Amino acid sequence: MGAGHDHGAGTAGQRHYGRLWVAFVLLAVFMVVEAVAALLTGSLALLSDAGHMFTDVLGIGMALAAIAAARRASDDPQRTFGLYRLEVLAALANAVLLAGVAGYVMVEAVHRFADPEPVPAGPMLVVAVAGLVANLVAFGLLRSGAKESLNVRGAYLEVLGDLLGSVGVIVAALVIATTGWWYADPVVAVAVGALILPRTWRLARSALRVLVQAAPEHVDVPRVRARLAAVPGVCDVHDLHVWTLTPGMEVASAHLATVAGAEVGGVLRDARQALHEEFGIDHATLQVEPLSPADPCGPADW
């Protein structure tokens, strides 16, 4: 006997789907503008900020992908887990790309320190201010949804982090315009690159944990086992597995051996409630194995 939950999408993310799309398009456009401006002006700070803004576009794109995947999860009966893992694969690929961009900026910055190049402060300032405005607009669009949806909250935090990068580029442009100190450009580039690398590492690490189906870091599996074993009527817990289907969606499965006479419905209800309230696991498949009075308490033979 068993019980489970389907993997439907939450309505919070869907309610903010339109705002996510507006923020995604807005930031993607300004990311391209910054990248082109960086190539034309030779500004490493702008290039680094464009890479940082790319993390925003990636974060919002992943949120949109998760919502779209949830909507299409039931379209193909052969895809019993939907398309959630596409989001994780995209995250891993983009983490590698971001690491390459950050590495390039760092190496080029070292060369600039040895031989600084003039950078036109005017165009650099105009583009940086426009990028800051775009981030502020996206920040406002995502603020309300961040309180309701985990996916939207992730995108919101990405935009919040990029605001610092845009401010840094503006400061560099002002320093160059007022003092002619060309080193401001590579200094800010290195600072923004330093912001990108840790986030890139965390993104890649999180994606790999999902792909190898490791238990989520915030879930203590021995505690889960002990809590399920403490459910009235349960005398043994085995074949316990906890993994992440996609960020924000933890999944568990377990076999629960119950004492003779235990009420199966009550065991399932209590176990499911414990997983939800204490561990935030809403997607669980539980196999109940009733034992006869003569059976020892332990894993069943089947």
Q: For 157-161, what is the mean pLDDT?
A: 69
CB-based burial, 207-221: b 16+ in 10 Å, e otherwise: bebbeeeebbeebee
> Residue 34's closest CA among 179, 135, 117?
135
Report residue 49's pLDDT band, with 50, 70 and 90 as the boundaries: confident
**10 Å Cβ neighbour count for 42?**
16
* Per-residue model confidence (pLDDT) at position 210: 87
Return the SS3 of 183. Answer: coil
Domains of the chain, residue spans: 2-211, 221-290
Q: Which of 145-159, 245-259, 281-295 has the lowest mean pLDDT?
A: 145-159
Which residue did the predictor score with more confidence, 90 or 218?
218
* Per-residue model confidence (pLDDT) at position 149: 53
Contact 93, 58 (CB under 8 A): no
Backbone CA torsion sign across 274, 279, 283, 287: negative
Give all strands of the β-sheet with 249-258 in edge-to-edge order.
Answer: 2-3, 283-290, 249-258, 234-246
Which residue did the predictor score with more confidence, 147 or 180?
180
- The CA distance from 104 to 192, in Å, is 13
Which residue did the predictor score with more confidence, 140 or 273?
273
At 125, list the tokens: 């300032």
> Residue 29's closest CA among 150, 127, 123?
127
Q: How many CA atoms lie within 13 A of 235 on its CB side?
A: 17
Return the SS3 of 142. Answer: helix
CA 178 to chain centroid, in Å, comes to 40
Contact 41, 120 (CB under 8 A): yes
- The CA distance from 265 to 256, in Å, is 12
> Residue 56's closest CA among 146, 148, 163, 150?
163
* Per-residue model confidence (pLDDT) at position 5: 43
- CATH class entry, domain 2-211: mainly alpha
Contact 91, 203 (CB under 8 A): yes
Contact 87, 65 (CB under 8 A): yes
**10 Å Cβ neighbour count for 111?**
12
> Residue 231's closest CA among 210, 207, 255?
255
DSSP single-letter state for residue 42? T
- The CA distance from 2 to 177, in Å, is 69
Q: Which of 128-137, 215-224, 229-238 has the lowest mean pLDDT?
A: 128-137
* Per-residue model confidence (pLDDT) at position 299: 59
- The CA distance from 208 to 89, in Å, is 9
Report residue 267's pLDDT band, with 50, 70 and 90 as the boundaries: very high
pLDDT digits (tens, 9 = 90+) for 91-129: 777 777 778 877 887 888 888 888 777 888 888 899 989
At 211, list the tokens: 């792909």
> Residue 113's closest CA among 186, 39, 188?
186
Report residue 270's pLDDT band, with 50, 70 and 90 as the boundaries: very high
CATH of 221-290, one of 3.30.565.40, 3.40.50.10710, 3.30.70.1350, 1.10.390.10: 3.30.70.1350
Amino acid identity of residue 68, one-letter, is A
- Looking at the chain, the whole-number percentage of residues with pLDDT higher than 90 is 26
| Arithmetic mean of pLDDT over the chain | 81
Q: For 272-287, what is the mean pLDDT?
A: 94
DSSP single-letter state for residue 216? P
At 34, list the tokens: 């910054």
Whether 295 has a pLDDT exceeding 80, the answer reads no
